[in-house]
Amino acid sequence: MPTEFEFIRNLKEKYGLNRVGDDCAVLPKDSKADLVITADMLVEDIDFRLKWTTPEHIGHKALAVSLSDIAAMGGTPKWAILSIAVPAEVWDGGFVDRFYEGWFKLAQQHNVELVGGDVSRSPAKIVIDSILGGETVKGHAVLRSGARPGDSIFVTGSVGGAAGALELLESGVSYAESRGKKRRLLERQLCPTPQIEAGQHLSSRKLASAMIDISDGLGADLYHICDSSGVGAVIDLDAIPVDEDLDSFSIVEKRAFAIGGGEDFELLFTSKREKIIGQKLPLIHRIGVVTANVGIVELVTDDSRSLLPRIGYRHF
C-alpha cells in the first residue's frame, strides 16, 4: 500500500490538482487580497490524549495548528468554522464548554471570528474539525515551491521541545503536577504558539522564497520544501536551535527531537541572506543553504557529513 504522501501525490497527478499541497489553499479574493484557507482534523488518541491534557488546551491547540498553517503562508487569520463530534459520556462531562473556552481565548488574541460549525455525536472518539480562513496581500502568499539554490534556510524560535514533551508525557509526567522547565516543555506540546507575526512580516515584504510550518518535524518539512521546489539542502547540525528546556536529555536525543520530532509550529523558510539582515523579526536562526542537489538533504558539522533520512511522521 502507498503511504499517505504517495497517495496524495498520485491523486494530484490523476485529477490534475494544481492547488493541493501547501499549508493552505490560496484562492483569489479581490483586487488587493488573496484568501488562504486551511482545514485540520484532530482525532482523539491520534492527535491528542484526554489523560495528558485539558479540554482548554485541546481547544487552544485545535486553533493553533490552523493558525500555524495561515502563518506558514504569511497570512492574517480572519474567520473560522469549528466542528466537534464527541461521544455521549464526554458531552455529559462538560468537556465541550471548556474546549470552546480554550478555543475562544486564542481566537480573541488573533481577532478570529467564528462564523460557522457544528456540535454532534461521535460513536467512540472525539473528532475536531478546524477550518481557518485568512488573507494575504495579493500574490504575496509564500508557497513551499519557491526555494532556489543559494538561498539560506532559516527557522524561527527553537525546535525539539514538542517532541521532548511527548516523551515526558509517555513516561508518565503529569501536566498538572509539572513545574519550571518541564512545564514549559509540556506547554510546547499541549498549547503551542503559532508564529503569525513572523509569517506576516516575511510575506508582506516578500522576504521569504519558500515557507512551511514545522508540524511533521524539521527534517520532514525541509524535505517537503525541497520536493516542492525541486532543490536540495545542506544543514549545519550545530546551528539548529534546540529547545533549551531539553537540557536533561542527551545530545543524541535532543537532535532526534529537533530534527525528527514534529509539532513545534515554528516557521521554516528560505531567503537570500542579505534580505533578512537588519529585519525586525522575532528570534531566527540560519541553519543551512539550499542546493541544486535535487531531493538530497545533508547534515554537516565541522568534521562530519551525512544524508538526512526522510523520517517525518507518517500515518501509514
Residues near its own copies, by CB under 8 A? 1, 4, 7-8, 11, 15, 17, 19-20, 22, 24-25, 27, 29-31, 35, 37-41, 43-46, 79, 81, 83, 85, 88, 91-92, 96, 100, 104, 113-125, 127, 129, 131, 133, 315-316
Strands, DSSP E only, in 188-257?
210-213, 232-236
What is the pairing mode between strands 113-121 and 76-86?
Answer: parallel
3-class DSSP state for residue 272?
A: coil
CA distance 53 to 64: 15
Distances (CA, A) of 256 to 196, 219, 249: 26, 10, 11
Which one, 91 or 253, has the nearer CB to its own copies? 91
Which one, 134 or 161, has the nearer CB to its own copies? 134
Smallest gap from Cβ 84 to its own copies, in A, equals 9
Smallest gap from Cβ 216 to its own copies, in A, equals 12
Distances (CA, A) of 56 to 68, 98, 106, 248: 18, 5, 10, 28
Angle between helices 196-204 and 55-73 (to 10 degrees): 10
Which one, 135 or 243, has the nearer CB to its own copies? 135
Which one, 134 or 164, has the nearer CB to its own copies? 134
For residue 92, give every residue at least 6 positions away whose Cβ sits within 8 Å of its Cβ, in sequence order, or none: none
Smallest gap from Cβ 244 to its own copies, in A, equals 32
Which one, 95 or 269, has the nearer CB to its own copies? 95
Smallest gap from Cβ 46 to its own copies, in A, equals 6
Smallest gap from Cβ 115 to its own copies, in A, equals 4
